[in-house]
Amino acid sequence: MQNLLTDRELLESLADEVELNLRRHTQIADGWQPHDYVPWDNGRNFGFLGGTDWAPEQSELGEVAKLALTVSVLVADNLPSYHREVGKYLRTGAWWRWVGRWTAEENRHEIMIRNYLMVTRSVDPVELERLRMDHMTKGFRRPPQHLLSVLVTCAFEETAAAIRHRNTAALQENPLVTAMAERIAADDELQAEFFADLVAAGFQIAPDQTVRAIADSVAAFRVPEITLPDGRSSDQVLAEAGIYDPAREHELVFAPLLERWNVFARTDLGEDGERARAELAHLRA
């Protein structure tokens, strides 16, 4: 049986890997600007400043694109909750700098999409604000996790987000929506790679604990969900639209990462690790 490492020991043991990955991420991540994607010439005042309030006929987006962008902006706008859930485990050194970098990247996704939706009058701004207030008031919390489970869950979440945004881009709604969705997906993929690399490093020092974290995270995984005005969940509607289907997570989210981590070919697992790996057998290619 392998000795269990505490979260503090794991934080210390992986600190150099975090530093290296943070430098690599910062060098690779494109320094793009949210304002470049917003057609500011299309903007005009709403009624409060003497202009014209929103009306449905002003929107030129299809219903699927409206929903996909609304979900994206609401999830990103709930950033304080996600920042808290990640940051409470990673409050030291390079870990904390990564939390700051990740938070800043997620925030500019929200800035870009929300500005685009307002300037182009693509959605009802009053309804969007009502949804935003409700979603942020409810907040987001996870059950307590160990460090390795946090890293695995974040790798899954960013991979899922990248899939959602790649499929939004594939709608080919218009050139700007396509470009925004592709830009966000590229960021999601880089963030997923950061977390996945740290999970891989976890295997080097605590293989049994790491595969246990993977098995637990697969069993508990849920993407962020929004309750829509008609009472349906965003999961249901996005699945019907082909943007993101939780029923395909095993195939599109979990299996590729398990392959990346070489989970089923590893020879360094003890009894605990083997038991955890057995729980993942249904994901074997």
Q: Which segments are annotated as binding site for Fe cation? A: 106, 109, 158
Q: Are 161 and 110 in contact (CB under 8 A)?
A: no
- Map tokens 């195939």 to a residue: 251
Which parts are annotated binding residues?
106, 109, 158
* Residues 207, 211, 212: CA angle, nearest 5 degrees: 115
* Nearest 10 degrees: Cα torsion 121, 125, 127, 128: 100
CB-neighbour burial class of residue 102 (10 A; exposed 0-12, middle 13-18, buried 19+): buried
Residue-wise DSSP of 206-232? -HHHHHHHHHHHHHH------B-TTS-
- Residue 134's nearest CA partner among 229, 67, 65, 230 is 229
